[in-house]
Amino acid sequence: MENKDYDLICVGAGIMTATLALITKILQPEMRILILERLDQVAQESSAAWNNAGTGHSALCELNYCPQKNDQVDISKAIDICTQFEMSKQFWSYLVAQNLIKEPNSFINPVPHNSWVYGADNVDYLERRFHAMKEHFMFESIEFTRSIEKMKEWFPLIMEDRDKSDHMAGSRINRGAR
């Protein structure tokens, strides 16, 4: 009969699960690891290019990682998540240096991370989020705009045929990855 005892069972076969499993196996080679995936292929949900692809992993544009409490925006969760993703990128760089990853651009590439909102309350929130994030070194390159022209540059499809009197704003961090 097959032994079904595992030290670690990972649910989902995306890039972050693969990273966790590999780090674990490198640090503790004796561990028995099982990775479960419900889809036909790995990295097709959150890791796939059209389905998040690193935006949530890095916390650069996920608004839900920065809850508003009264007039303050709490970025502590974004800091924690961004720190974890930066450590993952360092690990992947190590794997490239060790020649264990031959083509890193097959799974990670630079891409700006954007947030766009409309409505007066959402615009005010995004601006408060921008100011809170800008104070932390991990997010100091964040940009914010209410400029229609800048938003047309950043979000050409979203801005097509938009009423210029709408309350809108956007933010961007160019150092994102997907």
The strand pairing partners of 171, in sequence order, are 115, 144
Residue 58 Cα distances to 47, 79, 120, angstroms: 12, 9, 27
pLDDT of residue 165: 77
Helix (H) or strand (E) holding 117: strand 113-118
Task: Look at the chain and count its residues.
Answer: 178
The average confidence (pLDDT) of the chain is 87
Q: What pLDDT, in 10s, does the model give residues 124-147? A: 999 999 999 999 999 999 999 999
- The whole-angstrom separation of Cα 111 and Cα 26 is 30
Closest Cα to residue 144, out of 165, 125, 119? 125
Tokens coding 66: 């920065």
Q: How confident is the model at residue 120 (pLDDT cuts 50, 70, 90)?
A: very high
Task: Please determine, for residue 52, whether its predicted confidence score (pLDDT) is greater than 60.
Answer: no
Query: Among residues 163, 82, 166, 169, which one has the least CA distance to residue 125?
Result: 169
| The pairing of beta strand 33-36 with beta strand 8-11 | parallel
* Cβ proximity of 78 and 133 under 8 Å: yes
pTM confidence score: 0.79
What confidence tens digit (pLDDT) does each residue in 71-102 have? 899 999 999 999 988 898 899 899 999 998 88
Helix (H) or strand (E) holding 134: helix 120-134
